[in-house]
Structure 1
Amino acid sequence: MDDTRPLILIVDDNPQNLAVLGALLQPQYRVRAANSGPRALQLLSRAPQPHLVLLDVMMPGMDGYEVLARMRELPDCRSIPVIFVTAMEASEDEEHGLVSGAVDYVTKPLRPAVLRARVAAHVALRCAQLQLDDRNADLEREVSRRLAEIQCMRDIGIHALARLAETRDNETGNHILRTREYVRLLGQRLLARFGERSLGLDAHDIDMIARSAPLHDIGKVGIPDSILLKPGKLDPEERAIMQTHAALGAAAIAQAERDAGGQAMKHLDYAKQIARSHHERWDGAGYPDGLSGEAIPLPARLMALADVFDALVSPRVYKRPWSLEAARSYILEQSGKHFDPAVVGVFDAAFDEFCGIAHRLADEAEPVLHPC
């Protein structure tokens, strides 16, 4: 059966003092003994960790102050309470010991009742602290589990809506998965290149942007089938109607947000930016608002490149897929025109990874076979 008694480490270079301390503490506690500072540090490196250390100050080679300083440098030992046990009785010695980080200071010759009382008090505090740490760890795990569940439910909801929108469209099945990963890759590379301060986003923001990307074309549910599924080229009136899908998508997300109580949620802000503005162009010739340059929200600039790249290399009823290299050339040629030059720059640097995503998430019916 495991011994559940609290464990105490006693450290003293005098064998007689070790024997006295051990006799005073047993059988209420488990006791380990070290006759030097280096030996004490060796024992501290082994599991289980002691609940308390009784540490002599005056020892040859490595004194108690140095042992305590070394303990505080070790992550697993820095919170273990230490009581100095010493013949040094001056008030300045006691003050120095407490300032050094000891929780208590006991002078020799020892008074057994006083020593036991102080040990009991500090062991009780340490046990309570360890129980609190365990409870906090359990709570953190539970919070993490529930957050993961919420994130999963949110992702399922986003993908379900996006999949429903795709049932009315002629785009390929894994389009939302590929564009999500393209957006994630572009955002991560931009963050690595320019940093959080310059970009105004951190890694968590990039993750939320990527998770929101599948809703970019949700507004297409509001487009008539006669236009959405037309195999040929759209006429000007039809094109104008098709272009309303960007504003329709953003409006639908905003309405859903209001229906849920109107609480601001960052991932929905990103989803609205992407849905409304992913057809804007860097040169201002896009829609629906004719935004240009950095006036276009960054999430939409990421989505714009990801969406066009995937459209180029994927088959449609009205075209054959482009090769990956041809799509790359087009994206590079459109830098500063259709696309943000900074986004194009990280796309070019990460092109091999784009190819990997295209192959890994290729639609089964039409695998991407074009070499990079």
Structure 2
Amino acid sequence: MDNFKAISIDDNHINLMLLQKYARKLPIDIANYTDPVKALSDACANEPDIIFIDYMMPEMNGIEFIREFRKQNSNTPIIMVTAVSDDQKIKIDALEAGVTDFLIKPINSIEFIARTRNLLEMRKFQRIVQDKALLLQEEVNKATQKILEREEETIMVLGKISELKDIETGHHILRVAYYSKLLATELGMSEEEIQVLFYASQLHDIGKVGTPETILLKPGKLTFDEFEIMKQHAVNGYKILKNTSSKYLKAGSIVALSHHEWVNGTGYPKGQKNKEIPVYGRILAIADCFDALLSKRPYKERWSFDEAMAYIVHEKGIHFDSELVDLFIAKKDEVKKIGESLMDL
């Protein structure tokens, strides 16, 4: 094991030199400080293996130093150097502040070496435990990342189930995911929420696996009864995904159920209004509808980008959340890039 790093703090240069001389028989490199404030800053930034500190110093005494250092570091051993005349209260205060051991002035070299060696041995095992903990955490992180990657891959596969019935849906799903990610980012969501929505959004139409192809691919307008059957895909998607432990699938159930709600309450299946609609659903409402307008479907031709944008603006506060519409329009150049880059996948 490499030499240990130590710092020694004392406003008396002779005391620092004496302690450094005694330490030559030990595997430690000592950095000396006469300024406890500077020493505290360096000790917090670069964790030492052991600290030697005098009690009486200007600006900050030894106990004050220990209290401040222990706010950030509870492991590094600290030896306080005190005079024989120092009262018992100082030692009690030092122990309460977090001191590990004491040395009494004048320092005996044999005692100094014995006490320091014992604490360095303790520090060695601390470092071993810390290294093992870091190694274990690294392995846990790797395993967790692999699980997440598999889960994300599974979700992407599930999202493509809709392609089995509708050849236009696959590209639509991916574009909607990126439009949703863009809106979530502009809304200020956390990185985790954005990631969850990106994958959950790809499940918004999974309930269509239960919708007859005669309805999905009908070239004309749906009858009232046919539309009632079509609307069931929102509930069906929710039922498929709701009883799961995955955060992605749980979010997917919310997306599936709420992405056809309108902020004025005329959407389906619940007729929710405004903020009653989960934010994931309000985001998907814009992303899904916008891309559907740009896509050719059995019952319609593609709209132009400008026509689709104009429709989103027209439906602000009616179909779509007003704040989200403003964010979407403000990022129209990026929206266009997403559509163009994924149109021919």
Bin for the TM-score computed over the shorter chain: 0.7 to 0.9
1:310 corresponds to: 291
Q: Does 1:83 align with 2:72?
A: no
Aligned partner of 1:241 among 193, 218, 229: 229
Relative to structure 1, the CA distance from residue 295 to residue 90 in structure 2 (aligned partners, 3 Å threshold; closer, same or farther) is closer
**How much has 1:334 moved relative to structure 2?**
0.6
**TM-score, length basis structure 1:** 0.77
- Whole-angstrom distance in 1 between the partners of 2:31 and 2:215: 84
Q: Give the 5 Å matches for 1:38-77.
A: 41=39, 50-57=48-55, 65=62, 68=65, 72=69
Q: Deviations over 1:297-324 (max 9, x none)?
A: 3322221111001111233354443232
The residue aligned with 1:138 is 135
Percent identity at matched positions? 33
User: Taking structure 2 as the reference length, what is the TM-score of the superposition?
Assistant: 0.82
Q: Which amino acid aligns with 2:35?
A: G
Q: Supply the distance in 2 between the matched residues of 1:235 and 1:145 (Cα, whole angstroms).
A: 52
Is the Cα–Cα contact under 8 Å of residues 22 and 109 in structure 2 kept in the other structure?
yes
In structure 2, the CA distance between the partners of 1:310 and 1:291, relative to structure 1 (3 Å rule), is same
Q: Secondary structure at the match of 2:53?
A: strand
What is the CA deviation profile of residues 163-195 of structure 1, one whole-angstrom value per residue up to 9, with x for unaligned ones? 121132032542222211222232333346xxx
Residue pairs, 1:268-283, within 5 angstroms:
268-283=249-264
Select which of 26, 29, 32 maps to 2:30: 32
Cα drift, residue 43 of structure 1: 11
Q: For residues 144 and 336 of structure 1, what CA distance do their matches in structure 2 show?
A: 44
Q: Which runs of 5 or more structure 2 residues have no equivalent in the other structure?
A: none
The answer as to whether partners of 2:255 and 2:281 remain within 8 angstroms in 1 is yes
Q: CA deviation at 1:346?
A: 2.8
Alignment of 1:212-251 (within 5 A): 212-251=200-239
Q: Which runs of 5+ in 1 are unaligned?
A: 193-201, 258-262, 365-372
The residue correspondences of 1:126-275 to structure 2 (distance < 5 A) are 126-171=123-168, 173-191=170-188, 204-254=192-242, 257=243, 264-275=245-256
2:311 to 323, 326, 330: 330
Q: What is the SS of the residue equivalent to 2:344? A: coil
Q: Which amino acid aligns with 2:260?
A: H
Q: Counterpart of 1:117 in 2: which secondary structure?
A: helix
Tell me how far apart the structure 1 counterparts of residues 22 and 222 of structure 2 sit (CA, whole Å): 93
Distance 1:41 1:353 in 2: 50
Q: How many residues align?
A: 344
Counterpart AA for 2:32: A
Which of the residues 315, 324, 335 maps onto 1:343? 324
Kindly state the Cα deviation for residue 63 of structure 1 after the two structures are TM-superposed: 6.8
The aligned counterpart of 1:293 is 274
The alpha-carbon distance between structure 1 residues 105 and 274, as it changes in their structure 2 partners (threshold 3 A), is same
Quick one: distance in 1 between partners of 2:45 and 2:227? 71
